[in-house]
Structure 1
Amino acid sequence: MRHGWEGAVLKLFRGKDFTFTVTGAEQVTERYRRVHFTDGGLLQTLGVHPTMWVRLWFDNAGKPHQRAYTLVDPDVEAGTFSLEFALHDGCASDWSRKAEPGDTIEATVQGTGFDVPDPLPPRMLVVGDPASLPAINSLLAVAPKLPATIWFETTHDSDDELPFRIEDHHDLRTVPRPKMVEQVKADLQELVTADTFVWIACDTTTTRELTSYVLKDLAVPKDRVKSLGYWKAA
């Protein structure tokens, strides 16, 4: 499948292409699916870092469509990983529902990266939703003993059954979507310190508003904030 103008742009920015092969899949909840892959040489070529993500290419009514997904449990030696799909209407979710062993999908790696905060904060402040849950779990594994407060946006009852990798020193706060921005802003006022590190990954509108609040209103230094809009709300 040709990748259109987006693929051409990624090539200009030295994006690297790979083909992944499905080895299995499992339904985690009614709205969340995990698909297992062999990596087509990705991990040996590029290595792995926390919150590492790849761009998958889907056929959307004959046109190329890309979506980004965070690697789950990457194994460099075995050349395997999984991807998790928050299910909704669309070609990416449709593909994941039908994925079977032997199926292949094209992918491009460009733009992913993560610098471990130095110094580490006394507590990680993390804001996300089902789409960014794999990245949240990966982030928490950077410093497994480090306390963290996680605000997690929920939309469906089944969101409580998602595969959180939470330990006793993690404070998970589930927040209904309509109250997310207001609740996070109120809580952050009490938790931000001089050596805070804040990580935000929700839809683009929520991410933009909270990032602006953290940088401008709470005056957290830019190098202590990592944010990325994971999807666009309709």
Structure 2
Amino acid sequence: MAVGKGWEGVVLKLMRGKDFTFTVTRTEEVTEHYRRIHFTDGGLLAAAGGSPHPTMWVRVWFEGAGRPHQRAYTLVDPDPRAGTFALEFALHEGVASAWARAAEPGDTVDATVQGTGFTAPEPAPERLLVIGDAASLPAINSLLDAFPRTAATIWFETQHDSDAELPVRLDADRHELRRVARDGTALVDRVKAELPELVGDPSSAYVWLACDTATTRALTSYLRKDLALPRQRVNGLGYWRAGAGAGAPAA
């Protein structure tokens, strides 16, 4: 599906964004609100040096109301040798979800790579402190995969009953999942009540969070100002904005 990219595409090109075309190979209905779509990568992983980093994301282009829209999605299980990966869509109203619901093998979609990156925390944390929701689940899983021997506590905001079926890659010996139903500031309140006892030394703690922009902003401010975590020990991204749909990241 070739989509004109408008002024955003021009800006990304000036910022040396690289364009690729992905082809759908198969789809999976994970839940009624969550769909996984598998692709061939159009040369993306080879161009990235064949070594994708944790939380790696791409900007995918969709057409709606006669104009282009870009949403960002984290690569799921990228395989550089095969040139394949999947994207996972938390379904809601919007152009990306509409495309994902209708996608079939053979369909194509354009994407731009620009802005993605990940810096592993040094010193390595004894425990990952992770805060997210269905939109950031692929990134959460890639983070857990990247630190297979590190303990983790995950606060996971849910919206639907079926979110209990979402595939969080938990190791029962190392990982603790704390589900929080989406309800106003419930996630912010829960994290503020429970996270401080797990931080320990602020200079060696590590918090990774990716929620809606308002929640991410509130918690990032709290972690840095109230708990005194250094900038490099907090990785916060606003993955979606209310009314704009879920993607990764919103910035």
Q: So what's the TM-score if we normalise by structure 1?
A: 0.99
Of 124, 129, 132, which residue of structure 2 is paired with 1:125?
Answer: 129
- Which residue, out of 154, 171, 176, partners 2:176? 171
8 Å CA contact 1:128, 1:152 repeated in 2 = yes
Aligned-partner Cα distance in 1 for 2:120–2:161: 33
Aligned match of 1:90 in 94, 107, 118?
94
Instruction: Name the SS of the counterpart of 1:141 in structure 2.
Output: helix
Q: Which amino acid aligns with 2:230?
A: P
How far has the Cα of 1:197 moved from its partner? 0.3
2:92 match: secondary structure: coil
Provide the secondary structure at the position in 1 that maps to 2:238: coil
The CA deviation string for residues 49-96 of structure 1, in whole angstroms up to 9 with x for no partner, is 100000100001110000000000000000000000000011100101
Aligned match of 1:147: 151
The superposition leaves residues 24-55 of structure 1 with CA deviations (integer Å, 9 ceiling, x where unpaired) of: 10100010000000000000001311000001
RMSD: 0.7
State the distance in 1 between where 2:35 and 2:13 align: 30
Residue 188 of structure 1, CA deviation = 1.4
Amino acid at match of 2:33: R
Q: Distance in 2 between matches of 1:90 and 1:215?
A: 34
**Cα drift, residue 106 of structure 1:** 0.3
In structure 2, the residue matched to 1:193 is 200
State which of 153, 157, 163 in structure 2 corresponds to 1:159: 163
- 8 Å contact 1:116–1:142 — kept in the other structure? no
- Secondary structure at 1:144 match in 2: coil
Residue 51 of structure 1 aligns with which residue? 55
Uncovered stretches (5+) of structure 2, i.e. residues with no partner: 244-251
- Mapping 1:1-234, distance limit 5 Å: 1-46=3-48, 47=50, 48-168=52-172, 169-178=174-183, 179-194=186-201, 195-234=204-243
Equivalent pairs counted in the alignment come to: 234
Counterpart-to-counterpart distance in 1, 2:108 and 2:101: 14
2:56, 2:21 → 1: CA distance? 17
Structure 2 distance, partners of 1:187, 1:15, is 40
Matches of 1:60 and 1:209, distance apart in 2: 31
Residue type of the alignment partner of 1:127 = I
Other structure's SS at 1:202 match: strand
> 2:217 & 2:110 partners in 1: Cα distance?
30
- Partners of 2:199 and 2:169 in 1: how far apart? 23
After TM superposition, give the deviation of residue 145 of structure 1 in Å. Answer: 1.3
Conserved in 2, the CA contact under 8 Å of 1:215 and 1:221?
A: yes
In structure 1, C-alpha distance between the alignment counterparts of 2:217 and 2:75, rounded to whole Å:
24
How far residue 193 of structure 1 moved from its aligned partner, in angstroms, is 1.9
Question: 1 CA distance for matches of 2:239 and 2:142?
Answer: 15
Q: Which runs of 4+ in 1 moved over 2 A?
A: none
**Which amino acid in structure 2 is aligned with residue 131 of structure 1?**
A
- Counterpart CA distance in 1 for 2:169 and 2:191 is 21
Identity across matched positions, percent? 68
TM-score, normalization by structure 2: 0.92
